[in-house]
Amino acid sequence: MSSSYTPGETAHRTGFSLDTLRYYERIGLLAGVGRTPGGQRQYSDDDLGLLEVLRCLRETGMPIHRMREFADLCRAEDTITERIDLLEEHDRDVRQRIATLQSQRTRLREKIAYYRDAHS
């Protein structure tokens, strides 16, 4: 049996603000969010699972339009291959950014060492 969560519970569990949850629904990242008879949003375990993935994608720099594409693929049937392709492409982008950051960090450390030596 699937659980349901109020917007406040969902915000607490996911770390997203209420404004972000509403924004994600408005732009199509979250679709079909349930409602109580009184009209209040009611999030499911599936919604929370998608939000976890969306957080990962956002925190690793995926643009919103690609996140929306991923969310659309998740709602469609027989799109596993496309989801894998999208995630692998993003993984390559992340790997490249990490390599760039590592290189830049090496430069920073060299500069720190230079200034430490100059200061001694």
Phi-psi region of 105 (alpha: psi -120 to 50; beta: other; left: phi over 0): alpha
What 3-state class would DSSP assign to 115? helix
Over the stretch 57-113, which tens digit does the pLDDT of each residue have?
999 999 999 999 999 999 999 999 999 999 999 999 999 999 999 999 999 999 999
**15 is in which domain, residue-wise?**
4-119
Query: What CATH number is given to the structural domain containing 81?
Result: 1.10.1660.10
Distance, CA of 73 to CA of 93 (rounded, Å): 20
Over the stretch 20-64, which tens digit does the pLDDT of each residue have?
999 999 999 999 899 999 999 999 999 999 999 999 999 999 999
- Model pTM above 0.75: yes
Would you list the DSSP string of 48-99?
HHHHHHHHHHHHTT--HHHHHHHHHHHHSSS-HHHHHHHHHHHHHHHHHHHH
